[in-house]
Amino acid sequence: MARIGNWITTWKRELKEGDLSSGVFAYAVSKNVVNSEELKKLNEDEIISRIENSGVIEQLVSI
């Protein structure tokens, strides 16, 4: 639970730092919210918007 809590609270900052190792990104890729190429090419706001609008965070909270 602590790991998921850390992912949820730090993923936006990590995205801005170029750190895509968070489980949020892995889960978003597995749910076809974004793919690995899009994580490299899209701007941060687009990635944040897609993840926030996808329900990924809510799904991780409910695990």
How do the domains of the chain map onto residue ranges?
A: 2-61
Q: How far apart are CA 35 and CA 29, in angstroms?
A: 5
pLDDT, position 58: 96
pLDDT, position 63: 80
pLDDT, position 31: 98
Contact yes or no for 27/59 (Cβ under 8 A): yes
Name residues of the chain where pLDDT drops below 50: none
pLDDT, position 53: 98
Q: Which two tokens stand for residue 54?
A: 């996808």
Contact yes or no for 51/57 (Cβ under 8 A): yes
* pTM given for the model: 0.92
1 to 6, 8, 47, 59, 63: CA distances (angstroms): 9, 11, 24, 13, 9
